[in-house]
Amino acid sequence: MSTNYGDYQLGIYMNGARGVLPDLPMSFAGMEELAESRMDPRILGYVAGGAGNEHTQRVNVAAFERLGIMPRMLVGAAQRSLGIDLLGDRLPSPLFFAPVGVLGAVADDGDLATAAASAELGIPMVASTLSSAPLEQVRAAAGETPGFFQLYPPADRELAENLVHRAEAAGYSGIVITLDTWVNGWRPRDLSAAYLPMLSGQCLANYLTDDRFRKLLADQGSPDPAAAVMLWASLFGNPTMTWEDLEWFRSMTSLPIILKGICSPEDTRRALDGGMDGIYCSNHGGRQANGGIPAIDCLPGVVEAADGAPVLFDSGVRSGVDALRALALGATAVGIGRPYVYGLAAGGQAGITHVMRSLLAEADLTMAVNGYPDLASLRGSLHRL
Ligand SMILES: Cc1cc2nc3c(=O)[nH]c(=O)nc-3n(C[C@H](O)[C@H](O)[C@H](O)COP(=O)(O)O)c2cc1C
Ligand SMILES: O=C(O)C(=O)c1ccccc1
């Protein structure tokens, strides 16, 4: 694929000149609406919903609108580079697929469709622990594009270590450990539907294919699907984890480790002092705790405390301009969450690639208009409105 991402725009206009209109929406709102019409209501509630009255989720998005990019003229930004270096990999763009645990419930083979889009676009996927295809298959479907494995560290250490070692053997470039979901947040939409996909046995492929999990299941004496779900529920959360466990994380793998769910400068320093390789600034899209701080407002403090270490960011990115705003604040790479899930629901793999290409085209064209030839030049370009 060309990395002149803005060319996606020209292709659409050229099609229009032949009377062919885009078959998928061109805006986040349009894609969300189409996805809503095509999704099972319970899955939709799970994907779209968040914690409490979803205030944090809304301000995550709204906070971006307070950040304006200063236009600079006559810079000669005829060619733009959106490429980045991330933990040893050179990537053509600064976007990545944030880990999403219900892709297989959104569409058949949703995890594999996302991995195939990752292969097609060269955009890394952070593969969730909670997938419908085992992590080895997800990795294989992503082809040459590097990717990360997201770990929800289970309470059973041997199971956690197995998952990490499987990810190493499968060829992932690093491990993202999510820290903000050792308990499920208070989610009124899911509670009203009394629905959590994993409790219906969905997205547990990594557990069901794991020797340690299978042994624990067999030891219980009744290895039926209901027992597997109960065992998963008993192991999923790891409430006793503390900063002391960074040593254990570090001992599990020589792959880079990135901690997801960090919002404060103090936690950033502590993670890096404890030998972690990167920080993933995120509030889980407002799904876990309401009454929070817009994630984008936490980013500058995290970037400063990271002192040059890679900082991944997600939560509320809805456009290519939002991605530029996060990059201008110092993010190394920007995670896309709900927008690609809606692309998957609306149009499968083609829906995902359309969403990602649209985001990249908007980012590229906005850099062209505003006179920023590369991502480094964006630093310091923001004005608070
Ligand atoms: C349906 C859904 C499932 C998710 N599952 C996971 C997961 O398995 N692991 C994880 O670390 N984060 C998970 N997340 C959080 C995302 O990685 C990301 O932080 C969030 O979607 C960012 O917010 P945004 O989509 O509003 O931009 C999930 C998010 C959604 C919407
Ligand atoms: O829905 C989520 O965002 C998520 O990551 C999760 C994972 C396990 C249990 C509950 C929520």
Over the Cα atoms of the chain, what is R_g? Answer: 20
pLDDT at 1: 58
Q: How much is the average pLDDT of 77-94?
A: 97
Give a yes or no: residue 206 inside a domain: no
Q: Which of 40, 257, 284, 298 to mutate to test the pocket of ligand 1 (most atoms within 8 A of CB)?
A: 284
User: Within a domain: residue 202?
Assistant: no
Could you tell me if residue 37 is inside a domain? yes
Domain assignment of residue 225, yes or no: no
Whether 219 is in a domain gets the answer no
**Domain coverage including residue 306:** 7-189+237-384
Mean pLDDT, the chain, whole residue set: 97
Q: How many CB atoms within 10 Å of residue 168?
A: 16
Residues flanking ligand 1, CB < 6 Å: 46-47, 98-102, 128, 130, 150, 178, 260, 282, 284-285, 287, 314-317, 337-338, 341
Provide the CB-side half-sphere exposure for 301 (13 A, CA).
Answer: 14
Task: Please identify which residue in the block is written with the tokens 């209901």.
Answer: 226
User: Is ipTM strictly over 0.95?
Assistant: yes
Region 122-134 average pLDDT: 98
Q: Is a pLDDT exceeding 70 seen at residue 125?
A: yes
Query: Strand 84-86 relative to strand 311-313: parallel, antiparallel, unpaired?
Result: unpaired
From 55, 165, 284, 383, active-site residue: 284
Mean pLDDT across 263-271 = 98
CATH (domain of 93): 3.20.20.70
Q: Tell me what the mean pLDDT of segment 7-28 comes to.
A: 98
Q: How many domains does the chain have?
A: 1
Query: What's the pTM value of the predicted model, to 2 decimals?
Result: 0.98
Q: Is 118 a member of any domain?
A: yes
d(CA 101, CA 17): 40
Let me know if residue 199 belongs to a domain. no
Q: What is the pLDDT of residues 162-208, one digit of tens each?
A: 999 999 999 999 999 999 999 999 999 999 999 999 999 999 999 99
Q: What pLDDT is attached to residue 8?
A: 98
**Is residue 226 assigned to a domain?**
no
Q: 35-84, pLDDT tens digit by residue?
A: 999 999 999 999 999 999 999 999 999 999 999 999 999 999 999 999 99
